[in-house]
Structure 1
Amino acid sequence: MSVAYDSVDQTAAAAIRLDAELRRAHPRTILEAAVESFGDKLALVSSFGAESSVLLDIAARVKPDIAVLFLDTGMLFGQTLDYRRNLAERLGLTNVRDLRPAYQDLATADPQAKLWQTDTDACCHVRKVLPLDRALGEFDAWITGRKRFHGGDRLNLPVVEHADGKVKFNPLANWGKSDLDAYAAEHDLPAHPLVAQGFPSIGCWPCTQPAEEGEDVRAGRWKGLDKTECGIHVARAPGTPNNVGGDI
């Protein structure tokens, strides 16, 4: 049974309460609580990247028809597109939605598909933030695959948080790489094909490189730039419209 929250204050209070209840819970317990609280007003956002199979498998066991939002930026590796199709079919996820940038946004901001060369934040904004903002309009809460062991801004990641008027669940926040590897092995989950080529974190091909031995998991993302997030998980000031700022 889902619960509707009529105001930002109520939504924020719900996030605080849920975080207190779930901050040490198993990821499946967190997902079950999210589904119980929000039902069909809950979405899972997945990149179908290097570590995505674990969360997607748990979600498929809890609610196989959960809305899974996949950002097809137009610049993903071909291996990612193949993995998205094959993994969704294998796990029995029946409601995976491919989100693409709007034609008009690309025509205005990136007509030659070269924006990533000059302004990665703007490129992420038009190809990730805007499509996700539009899709999340029909949902009250969403699930991410972020984890604290990735470091950076994720070190203090709560299990449940309030952001941009919605409740965000981070079921894997407490898990480390060994936990993910153990779960994947136990359930015989297929790895993203680029993991074997040295990619521990996978985004768009122009801005993703293999990580060197001993480097941070996300070291290959926007390498050489002062950038660690695409903008989707960057908090916005109150009153900021959904079509301004941010990256995933």
Structure 2
Amino acid sequence: MAYDQTDAVPSLAARLDAELRDAHPLAVLTRAYETFGDSLALVSSFGAESAVLLHLAARVSPDISVLFLDTGMLFGQTLDYRRQLATRLGLTDVRDLRPAFADLAVKDPRSDLWRTDIDGCCHIRKVLPLDRALTGFEGWITGRKRFHGGDRLTLPVVEEAEGKIKFNPLANWSRAELDAYVIEHDLPAHPLVAQGFPSVGCWPCTKPAEDGDDVRAGRWAGQEKTECGIHVARAPGLAPNVGGDI
């Protein structure tokens, strides 16, 4: 489904959010797929909480396009989990997005940019690859939830972002609801969860969290940074492949 008028996307996002703001995540995903079909993508880290959203999406359509950001800095356990979970759920279109060789050669030739410029590292390894991949889609799905805190506390179920419709089906769900779904459907956990990682990203910037810590406390610990950049609003008129997180 295409939208020719530039003001159609914000108005569609507002209508869908009004319709779905209290809906079950499965209903949100079903409506998203009915609206966009092959022009809909699900972005997944295959991290600690990813199994629930992927399982829900597979119930709607195992052929949905799943975009996985393979930054080159992921834990080996995450790569194994990505393969095992995709097979278990019958997902047929999981695409591995990797940073462009030219970007790495110019900006991070020694793979140590994370030591001096965390935002810059995320930009070339996550933001740019995803921006390029999303050019072929009109809508996309994230796994963000309000209980993560920070800027996510006011997360809508449907929003407009960079001229696309963005669905957050799990925005309303609590930790308890996620855990209950995992138990009900016997979903496998990310291997690092048992080692104290409630949230899993790239190995240089992810640490175990202490009991009672915020679920994302181990991400960029000791830094002011709370988002990798793919969910950061861009300045008006800024091209998507330029980025607004740096």
The TM-score with structure 2 as length reference comes to 0.98
1:53-64 map, 5 Å: 53-64=51-62
Whether the 8 Å contact between 1:23 and 1:160 is mirrored in structure 2 is yes
Runs of 4+ in structure 1 over 4 Å off: none
Query: Could you say which residue in structure 2 is the equivalent of 1:78?
Result: 76
User: Within 2, Cα distance between the matches of 1:40 and 1:30?
Assistant: 16
CA distance in 2, matches of 1:4, 1:100: 27
How many Å separate the matches in 2 of 1:8 and 1:179? 37
Displacement, 1:226?
A: 0.5
**Counterpart residue number, 1:186:** 184
CA distance in 1, matches of 2:170, 2:244: 23
Amino acid at match of 2:49: E
Is residue 18 from structure 1 mapped to residue 20 from structure 2 by the alignment?
A: no
Give the whole-Å Cα distance in 2 for the aligned partners of 1:244 and 1:112.
23
For residues 169-222 of structure 1, give each alpha carbon's deviation from its aligned partner in whole angstroms, at most 9, with x where no partner exists.
Answer: 000000011000000000000000000000000000000001111110000000
Q: What one-letter code is carried by the residue in structure 2 that aligns with 1:25?
A: A
Greater shift, 193-202 or 237-246, is seen at 237-246
Q: Determine helix, strand or coil for the equivalent of 2:32.
A: helix
- Structure-to-structure mapping, 1:202-221, within 5 angstroms: 202-221=200-219
For residue 5 of structure 1, what is the aligned residue in structure 2?
3
| Paired residue type of 2:68 | F
Q: Residue by residue, what CA displacement relative to the aligned partner does 1:129-156 show, whole Å, maximum 9, x if unpaired?
A: 0000000000000000000000000000
1:49 to 47, 50, 54: 47
Question: Which residue identity is paired with 2:42?
Answer: L
Matches within 5 A, 1:1-248: 3-246=1-244
Between the aligned partners of 2:128 and 2:171, the Cα distance in structure 1 is 25
| Structure 1 gap ranges (5+) | none
Q: May I ask how many residue pairs the two structures share in their alignment?
A: 245
Q: Residues 46-76 of structure 1: CA distance to partner in whole angstroms, max 9, x if unpaired? A: 0000000000000001010000000000000
Identical aligned pairs, as a percentage?
75
Residue identity matched to 2:16? L
What CA distance in whole angstroms lies between the structure 2 residues aligned with 1:67 and 1:110?
Answer: 29
- Once residues 246 and 52 of structure 1 are traced to their aligned partners in structure 2, the CA distance between those partners, rounded to angstroms, is 26
Query: Residue 159 of structure 1 aligns to which amino acid in structure 2?
Result: V
Give the distance between the partners of 1:122 and 1:31, measured in 2 at CA. 32
**What secondary structure is seen at the aligned counterpart in 2 of 1:155?**
helix
- C-alpha displacement of 1:7: 2.6
Once the two structures are superposed, residues 5-25 of structure 1 have per-residue CA deviations (whole angstroms, 9 ceiling, x without a partner) of 113310010000000000000
Contact 2:74 2:203 in 1 (8 A): yes
- Give unpaired runs (5+ residues) of structure 2: none
Distance 2:10 2:126 in 1: 25
TM-score by length of structure 1 reads 0.98
